Structure 1
Amino acid sequence: MSSTAHIAAIGTAVPAQDIHAAFIEWARARLPDGRAVRIFDRMAGRAAIAHRWSVLPLGAQGGSPVDPDGFYAKSVLPGTAERMRLYAQAAPELSIAAIEALRAQVALEGITHLVVASCTGFIAPGIDQIIAARIGLAPSVERLLVGFMGCYAAVAALRSARHIVRSDADARVLVVCVELSTLHLQDNPALEPLLAMLQFGDGAAAALVTAEPAGFALDHPFATTLPDSAALIRWDITDQGFAMHLSGEVPARIAAGLSDPVFAAAATGGRPRLEIDGWAVHAGGRSILDAVEHSLGLPADALDASRAVLSEYGNMSSATLMFVLARMLDGPPVTNGVALAFGPGLAAEGFGFRSVA
């Protein structure tokens, strides 16, 4: 008989350097004219982001990555190889910081499976192997690396952990999401890519998923895709890092999709909206959260956890949803919750969850 899987706890970590203000100054200087600057300033002011954190080192004089002595100081930005070398060093370190934050809440002995999600870097041996070795996991631990799925990869990682626990009630699954989006700054003077880059920061989260009744019980997962939307969110691997394409059409397409009862039912796992008392929505941007809130007719405070994460950290790709769930674990009990994330496809993926008494 299948077991119910539970998120016992979630630990989170971000780097020490806040790069949000420095990026805004850098981006404004690259815009071609005053009109573009005014639009950028208006959108930056409406973004509802106060901080974004980066693993990039301080410059020799203590400045930000875009200062004259920083990582992005040269007229030609670093190549992909240099960015991946930094990923190989910083991604495991940030992941382990999140794992230690998790360890402060729950015991992590006896881990049987490790699931790692990341779309902002590649290395072999994989980041999963590096993390496993550094935290002393047994060589027999089964590993799964979820790569390049983007913002909804946390859903895929937690869904996989749920499947593992439901097939083996003794499984203890460590789930890690780590993203270093600031490694992929692009020197593109166009307004849309600069606004896309304005959203992203670095972060890591770690969760323990077991059959033991604690935290959030994980209910049925769900997934769906908006038709004719594949080009709206895209990562292109270039000689100078990964170039993010995030179309300004995304919020409107999400809003239109969620206004369709068939798509809305698929994107919420078929749960009646009036019965849902906990919404963990990936904080992909203020306009995306607004689209979800307005299209589904949610109360004004329904997405407070998502908006708080967006303000404090920006969009950390796959790690973001875990940050929202971590905040909700510390909040009021949830009887019938929905976790929802959007990403390349344009796909919507999620799962139901509920607090364990």
Structure 2
Amino acid sequence: MPAFIHHIATQVPACAYSQAEARERVKTWSADPKTKRLIHAIYGRSGIETRHSVSSDFKPGAVTELFHVTEEGAFISPNTGARNACYARESRRLAVELARQTLNEAPGFTARDVTHIVFASCTGFANPGPDYHIIRELGLREEVQRYTLGFMGCYAAFPALRMAAQFCAADAGAVVLVICLELCSLHMQINDQPDSILANSVFADGAAAALVSAREPQDGQPALCLSGFESALVASSEQDMAWEIGNEGFNIVLSSYVPDIIGANIHALIGGVLGRRDLSFEDIQEWAVHPGGRAILDKVQTSLALKPDALDAARGVLRDYGNMSSATILFVLKRLLEDPSKRGLTCAMAFGPGLTIETALLDILR
């Protein structure tokens, strides 16, 4: 029994800032001229124009709420508790609004239809969490089953969608609300390490939701049929991407070698995924790639010998929003779903700690 994504909705915090604004703000938090030049260079080649945050601290001249400086100009890093308190408050608000939007927009579904909520996030913790508040504030049935996928990183949308598809296979009446919500900007680390500066230059805040069920899509309504999932681990790359809890926020390990590692392995990995389903690269009509950064997209495009416009949706999301961790791939799929020229078998992929590569095959139906 196939499962379908009937609708994808997205939301970002109200505070938007250009990459140039963020770059100049972060430069003021460093006293070292060499680090300032490095920040300028890394931000400038990110492929990002705009990002969003639950904090206005990144806009030049803003009254800071979280990231403070002393009268002498020294940067004061907020502790993990302060950052997580902001996550608990803002994730609740954003998740409830996103769920409301999703249920208002999804054709043929109401709040009372939802049987499961799968909530994925790696940028904070709260209990009761956003899934609980969605039920309370939107009037969902109290017996709705709730599941949280925590701390998986940028690829978490795929395990969440896989879980939703399994619920639908077990129960034809299941209606699953999948939410990926990340407030990455809360964990900015200010130091002179190039990998940290690289992470600061790409990560942003955002949330996306997908409504999944085994119901046949309504006539005239585009949908995505979930055709299969697969996971892979890249050998000897554990040290190049990791995510851990520190005393001053969550610490990311993001080596500048990650694009090269992905580029060296992605053709064989995707070829194996397709081969096990008796498919070839020529059978794929559309590509949905997590835009972890411009260099990652460039490496995937080159390694898979994709057409020049094959990753336009991913590059557009990167340009307009940055890397919102697990939510980002749903932004990409939404763009494909809303483009009437896009149809047919789609290969989607995302990358995360480990180094883990998650893939999904989906059919765009119109």
> If the length of structure 2 is used for normalisation, what is the TM-score?
0.90
Letter of the 1:100 partner, please give it. Answer: R
Letter of the 1:41 partner, please give it. Answer: H
User: Following TM superposition, by how much is the alpha carbon of 1:104 offset from its aligned partner in structure 2, in angstroms?
Assistant: 3.3
Structure 2: gaps spanning 5 or more residues: 70-74, 218-222
Residue 282 (structure 1) aligned with residue 281 (structure 2) = no
Does the Cα contact within 8 Å between 2:161 and 2:178 map onto a contact in 1? Answer: yes
User: Following TM superposition, by how much is the alpha carbon of 1:267 offset from its aligned partner in structure 2, in angstroms?
Assistant: 5.5
Equivalent residue number for residue 361 of structure 2 = 352
Query: Which of residues 15, 18, 40 is equivalent to 1:17?
Result: 15
Closer/same/farther in 2, CA of residues 119 and 266 from structure 1, 3 Å limit: farther
Equivalent residue number for residue 41 of structure 1 = 40
In the TM superposition, what whole-angstrom CA distance separates every residue of 1:168-215 from its partner, at most 9, and x where no partner exists? Answer: 111010110100001111121222211111101100111110112220
Structure 1: gaps spanning 5 or more residues: none
Equivalent residue number for residue 72 of structure 1 = 67
Letter of the 1:208 partner, please give it. Answer: L
Letter of the 1:344 partner, please give it. Answer: P
Letter of the 2:68 partner, please give it. Answer: A
Equivalent residue number for residue 233 of structure 1 = 241
Alignment of 1:294-333 (within 5 A): 294-331=302-339, 332-333=341-342
Partners in 2 of 1:307 and 1:165 — Cα distance? 32
Does the Cα contact within 8 Å between 1:117 and 1:176 map onto a contact in 2? Answer: yes
Alignment of 1:51-200 (within 5 A): 51-56=50-55, 58=56, 64=59, 67=62, 69-74=64-69, 75-106=75-106, 107-109=109-111, 110-200=113-203
Equivalent residue number for residue 4 of structure 2 = 6
Does the Cα contact within 8 Å between 1:267 and 1:348 map onto a contact in 2? Answer: no
Partners in 2 of 1:8 and 1:264 — Cα distance? 26
Report sequence identity in percent: 39
Closer/same/farther in 2, CA of residues 341 and 66 from structure 1, 3 Å limit: farther
Partners in 2 of 1:21 and 1:268 — Cα distance? 41
Does the Cα contact within 8 Å between 1:11 and 1:100 map onto a contact in 2? Answer: no
Partners in 1 of 2:358 and 2:97 — Cα distance? 27
For the residue of structure 1 that corresponds to 2:181, the secondary structure is strand
User: Following TM superposition, by how much is the alpha carbon of 1:138 offset from its aligned partner in structure 2, in angstroms?
Assistant: 1.2
For the residue of structure 2 that corresponds to 1:150, the secondary structure is coil
Number of aligned positions between the proteins:
348
Closer/same/farther in 2, CA of residues 77 and 315 from structure 1, 3 Å limit: same
User: Following TM superposition, by how much is the alpha carbon of 1:26 offset from its aligned partner in structure 2, in angstroms?
Assistant: 3.1
In the TM superposition, what whole-angstrom CA distance separates every residue of 1:48-77 from its partner, at most 9, and x where no partner exists? Answer: 100110011x47xxx838845442123322
For the residue of structure 1 that corresponds to 2:202, the secondary structure is coil
Equivalent residue number for residue 265 of structure 2 = 257
For the residue of structure 2 that corresponds to 1:338, the secondary structure is strand
> If the length of structure 1 is used for normalisation, what is the TM-score?
0.92
Partners in 1 of 2:299 and 2:98 — Cα distance? 30
Partners in 2 of 1:137 and 1:319 — Cα distance? 23
Partners in 2 of 1:267 and 1:151 — Cα distance? 20
User: Following TM superposition, by how much is the alpha carbon of 1:324 offset from its aligned partner in structure 2, in angstroms?
Assistant: 0.6
Does the Cα contact within 8 Å between 1:171 and 1:211 map onto a contact in 2? Answer: yes
Closer/same/farther in 2, CA of residues 266 and 95 from structure 1, 3 Å limit: farther
RMSD, aligned α-carbons: 1.9
Query: Which of residues 342, 354, 357 is equivalent to 2:351?
Result: 342
Does the Cα contact within 8 Å between 2:92 and 2:129 map onto a contact in 1? Answer: no
